[in-house]
Amino acid sequence: MILPWGDLINMNGTRKVNATNDRLRRVEGRHNALVKELRHAFSRGELTETRECAVEGFRIIEEAVRSGLKFRAVFFSESAQARAARLLPQIHSQVETILLPEKLFSSVVPSQTPQGVAALVQMKTFSLEQILEGTGPGPLLVIAGVQDPGNLGTILRSAEAFSAGGVLLGDGTVSAYNSKVVRASAGSVFRVPLAKAELSTLAGALRSRGIRMMATSSHKGVPLPEAQFSAGTAVFIGNEGAGIDKKLLGEMDELIMIPHSPRVESLNAGVAASIVLYEAARQRT
């Protein structure tokens, strides 16, 4: 049972909640520092200066817990008080847990159908060099201009499912910390090694390490079942409409084509990457 609110309002615009779980601290001011930080992180879709990502939804936050990530703060809306009882025991007792009025919560969280919980989560970060060293048995993925958040989220989910060696995010690619990408990844963004990369210099860096470069193509190249995904391979996935830049395409060691009906012009970037990763995993087994 949730007891009524108390009437004590602090100077910083907060009020202590008289509830069965006294960890919840009610914040009513939109200028509260943590509320402002959450709003800013959501609007930018990038990590904060302290490497925190704004996330929302019960399942996503439970995935962050399962991934062993640290929380800066967790925010609940008034309508989510009952469900907070399920999540609070999973959150470290030193983490700020804040209750927001419904209107304030909705103004901060971008989802049109918010579940009533959001958080600032500290992400694991990787350098380009760490990714190039290889962090998994599968090929390295290079994302060259994928702009749809759902596509990138799908790619990250498949990268984890099929043990990609890591994911490099090239110029023009949507941020992996965009709230829609995080949601579409179903939590894989918390666990897949990620780094940004300059596509103009990446080919040279890959070649210097003996990494073979492959790119997906709609209608030409080696049929996917015949392609060899040996150790030290990077697969480039291009923009949904324009594909991979011609200059970058000229740097590839091999083009690979996923056989499909000629009635279909091309495959969705997320689907194409998933099929390629599955074939690479199939070959390893």
Structure letter (DSSP) for residue 3:
P
Per-residue pLDDT band at 201 (split at 50, 70, 90): very high
Mean confidence (pLDDT) of the chain: 89
- Asked if the structure places residue 3 within a domain, the reply is no
The tokens describing 245, both together, are 């830049």
The tokens describing 246, both together, are 């011609």
- The pLDDT, as a whole number, for residue 46 is 95
- Asked if the structure places residue 78 within a domain, the reply is yes
Same domain, 94 and 153: no
Q: Supply the range of the domain harboring residue 258.
A: 128-284
| Cα-only R_g, the chain | 22
- Give the pLDDT mean for 197-222: 92
Same domain, 173 and 190: yes
Same domain, 105 and 139: no
- The pLDDT, as a whole number, for residue 4 is 36
Domain end, chosen from 88, 122, 156, is at 122
Per-residue model confidence as pLDDT tens digits over 62-105: 999 999 999 999 999 999 988 888 899 999 889 999 999 999 99
- The pLDDT, as a whole number, for residue 3 is 33
- The yes-or-no verdict on residue 12 having pLDDT over 70 is no
- Asked if the structure places residue 152 within a domain, the reply is yes
- The yes-or-no verdict on residue 14 having pLDDT over 90 is no
- Give the pLDDT mean for 240-263: 88
Q: Are strands 52-56 and 117-122 parallel, antiparallel or unpaired?
A: antiparallel
Same domain, 147 and 258: yes
Per-residue pLDDT band at 243 (split at 50, 70, 90): confident
- Asked if the structure places residue 8 within a domain, the reply is no
- The pLDDT, as a whole number, for residue 111 is 83
Same domain, 204 and 107: no
Residues 90/66, Cβ–Cβ less than 8 Å:
no
Domain end, chosen from 77, 104, 122, is at 122
Per-residue model confidence as pLDDT tens digits over 175-186: 999 999 999 999
Same domain, 276 and 137: yes
Per-residue pLDDT band at 19 (split at 50, 70, 90): very low
- Asked if the structure places residue 9 within a domain, the reply is no
Question: What one-character-per-residue DSSP string does 172-240 give?
Answer: TPPPTTSHHHHHHTTTGGGTS-EEE--HHHHHHHHHHTT-EEEEEESSSSEEGGG----SSEEEEEEBT
- Asked if the structure places residue 22 within a domain, the reply is yes
- Asked if the structure places residue 146 within a domain, the reply is yes
- Asked if the structure places residue 2 within a domain, the reply is no
Residue type (1 letter), 102: E
Q: Is the dihedral of CA 160, 163, 168, 172 positive or negative?
A: negative
Most confident among 110-119, 163-172, 235-244 (mean pLDDT)? 163-172
Structure letter (DSSP) for residue 80:
G
Same domain, 262 and 177: yes
- Give the pLDDT mean for 248-276: 90
- The pLDDT, as a whole number, for residue 35 is 96
Domain with 69 in it: what CATH number? 3.30.1330.30
Same domain, 98 and 140: no
- The yes-or-no verdict on residue 55 having pLDDT over 90 is yes
- Give the pLDDT mean for 40-50: 95
Most confident among 16-25, 131-140, 226-235 (mean pLDDT)? 226-235
Same domain, 144 and 173: yes
Domain end, chosen from 107, 122, 137, is at 122
- The pLDDT, as a whole number, for residue 264 is 81
Same domain, 203 and 278: yes
- The yes-or-no verdict on residue 198 having pLDDT over 90 is yes
Domain with 218 in it: what CATH number? 3.40.1280.10
- The yes-or-no verdict on residue 38 having pLDDT over 70 is yes
Number of domains into which the chain is organized: 2
Burial of 148 (0-12, 13-18, 19+ CB in 10 A): middle
Same domain, 199 and 279: yes
Same domain, 84 and 133: no
Which of 41-50, 166-175, 217-226, 270-279 is predicted with the least confidence, judged by mean pLDDT? 217-226
Distance CA 75, CA 96 (A): 8
- The pLDDT, as a whole number, for residue 261 is 84
**What is the distance in angstroms between the CA of the first residue and the CA of the last residue of the chain?**
53
